[in-house]
């Protein structure tokens, strides 16, 4: 069978990536002016149902798949001023998106965003370099995450922060969780180190069982295997900041890489382990450093 063919609909604030023959976008990147960039929705690989959720009632500042941090020189980049925190929260200012590069079943694009203090002073420039591979049975999203300090930065120790995934969790519906360390509940997984964490759950619009996503932490990342935030609503994020504070001097760059592996059905541990092994064999995560 021939691999899928992708095409894009692009504006300066949005990239929607489609598989030929599927009416809804498989992956949509948003980067509205003066707003946090995020990816939502991510469809299940068979095109039925959205694996991500935007602005859930329990956490209005969560947006599918997105990046946030806490205590960057005392400034928060997590709750967007929506949690009685406007005085302390910084702001996001993405540049206009350029069209993605597409070859067959693969697409690449870039998101560049300036993070500023509540008073409007620039703190850092974030660059997210994304790639999508549509394998038909699976969707694979890779992100190379660059942070360039515009001033000396201290990232404080915190219980969460980084690349966060929000799926459409509903209580008591047969949700699944598994980490590379063997944890199967949020309580067991919270704060623990793991190479990967996978979540599967019933998805609105699907009548064919579970679907899910695994987040994979590259072995060259700082603090690998990362400690993870796993909340009671099955939100997951590999969080370097859990391990302790860290610093980035003005002008320097730190780079981390993650893989987002979307699948249908229940969590298949061997499949996720094999995907992490494949990801880990790419030993040069800084090859695209800016």
The whole-number mean pLDDT for each consecutive block of 10 residues of the chain, a chain of 290 residues, reads 88 97 96 98 96 91 96 96 84 98 98 97 98 98 98 98 96 90 98 98 90 98 97 96 98 98 98 98 56
CATH number at residue 119: 2.70.98
Nearest to 36 by CA among 210, 166, 182, 175: 166
Where b means 16+ CB within 10 Å and e means fewer, 108-122 reads ebbbbbbbbbeeeee
In a domain, 285, yes or no: no
Number of domains in the chain: 1
CA–CA dist 90, 136 (Å, integer)? 39
In a domain, 290, yes or no: no
> Does residue 28 come out as left (phi exceeding 0), alpha (psi in the -120 to 50 range) or beta?
beta
- What pLDDT, on the 0 to 100 scale, is given for residue 283? 63
How many other C-beta atoms are found inside a 10 Å radius of the C-beta of residue 13?
A: 15
Residue labelled with tokens 């200012």: 93
In a domain, 54, yes or no: yes
Bridge partner list, 211 = 201, 264
In a domain, 244, yes or no: yes
Domain range for 193 is 6-280
In a domain, 169, yes or no: yes
In a domain, 210, yes or no: yes
In a domain, 38, yes or no: yes
In a domain, 289, yes or no: no
At residue 52, the 3 state secondary structure works out as coil
58, 78, 155, 253 from 85: Cα distances, Å: 16, 10, 18, 28
Longest dimension (CA), the chain: 55
pTM for this model (two decimals): 0.96
Structure token digits, residue 55: 């602005």
């Amino acid at each position: 069978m021939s691999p899928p063919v992708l095409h894009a609909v692009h504006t300066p604030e949005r990239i929607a990536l489609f598989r030929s023959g599927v009416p809804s976008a498989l992956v949509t990147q948003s980067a509205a002016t003066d707003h946090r960039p995020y990816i939502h929705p991510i469809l299940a690989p068979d095109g039925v149902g959205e694996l991500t959720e935007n602005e859930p009632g329990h956490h209005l500042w969560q947006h599918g798949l997105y990046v946030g941090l806490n205590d960057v020189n005392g400034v928060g980049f997590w709750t967007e001023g929506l949690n009685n925190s406007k005085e302390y929260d910084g702001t996001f200012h993405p540049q206009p998106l350029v069209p993605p590069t597409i070859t067959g079943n693969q697409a690449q694009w870039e998101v560049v965003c300036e993070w500023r203090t509540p008073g409007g002073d620039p703190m850092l420039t974030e660059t997210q370099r994304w790639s999508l591979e549509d394998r038909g049975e699976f969707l694979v999203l890779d992100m190379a995450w660059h942070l360039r300090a515009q001033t000396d930065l201290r990232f404080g120790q915190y219980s969460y922060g980084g690349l966060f995934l929000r799926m459409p969790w509903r209580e008591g519906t047969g949700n699944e969780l598994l980490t590379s360390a063997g944890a199967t509940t949020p309580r067991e997984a919270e704060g623990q180190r793991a190479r990967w964490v996978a979540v599967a759950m019933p998805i609105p619009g699907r009548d064919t069982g579970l679907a899910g996503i695994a987040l994979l932490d590259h072995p060259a990342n700082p603090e690998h295997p990362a400690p993870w935030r796993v909340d009671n609503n099955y939100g997951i994020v590999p969080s370097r900041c859990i391990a302790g504070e860290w610093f980035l001097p003005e002008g320097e760059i730190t780079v981390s890489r993650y893989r987002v592996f979307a699948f249908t059905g229940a969590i298949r541990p061997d499949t996720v382990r094999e995907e992490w092994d494949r990801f880990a064999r790419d030993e040069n995560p800084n090859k695209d450093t800016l």
